[in-house]
Amino acid sequence: MSQLLMHIRIAVLVCLGLLGLRCTNRVDDNQKFNVNDTTQLVQAVLNDDLLKAEIIRDFGEEPLKLVAGPVIKPDMQLTFANKFAQVVSLREDARQIHERYPKKLYVSVPSVKLFGEDSATVRLLFHAGNATARFSMKNSNRKWIVVNREYGKL
Quick one: pLDDT at residue 11? Answer: 52
Q: Domain residues of the chain, as ranges?
A: 1-26, 31-153
Quick one: pLDDT at residue 109? Answer: 96
SS3 141: coil
Quick one: pLDDT at residue 37? Answer: 85
Quick one: pLDDT at residue 84? Answer: 94
Other Cβ atoms within 10 Å of 131 Cβ, number:
16
Q: State the Cα–Cα distance between residues 40 and 98, nearest whole angstrom.
A: 27
Quick one: pLDDT at residue 133? Answer: 96
Closest CA to 46 of 35, 54, 58: 54
Closest CA to 74 of 35, 129, 37, 127: 35
Quick one: pLDDT at residue 103? Answer: 76
Quick one: pLDDT at residue 33? Answer: 59
Q: State the Cα–Cα distance between residues 148 and 121, nearest whole angstrom.
A: 9
98 sits in which H/E element: helix 94-100
Quick one: pLDDT at residue 21? Answer: 35
Sheet holding 64-67, edge to edge: 78-80, 83-88, 64-67, 105-115, 119-126, 131-140, 143-153
What amino acid is encoded at 113 in this protein? K
Q: Under 8 Å CB-to-CB from 146, ≥6 apart: which residues?
A: 44, 45, 48, 50, 51, 135, 136, 137
Closest CA to 123 of 67, 45, 49: 45
Q: Is 77 left (phi over 0), alpha (psi -120 to 50) or beta?
A: beta
pTM: 0.74
Written as tens digits, the pLDDT of the chain (154 aa) is: 566 655 555 555 444 444 443 433 344 444 455 778 899 999 999 999 999 999 999 888 889 999 999 999 999 999 999 999 999 988 777 778 878 777 788 899 999 999 988 999 999 999 887 889 999 999 999 899 999 999 998 7
Quick one: pLDDT at residue 98? Answer: 72
Quick one: pLDDT at residue 4? Answer: 64
Q: Strand pairing of 83-88 and 105-115? A: unpaired
Q: Please give the class, per CATH, of domain 31-153.
A: alpha beta
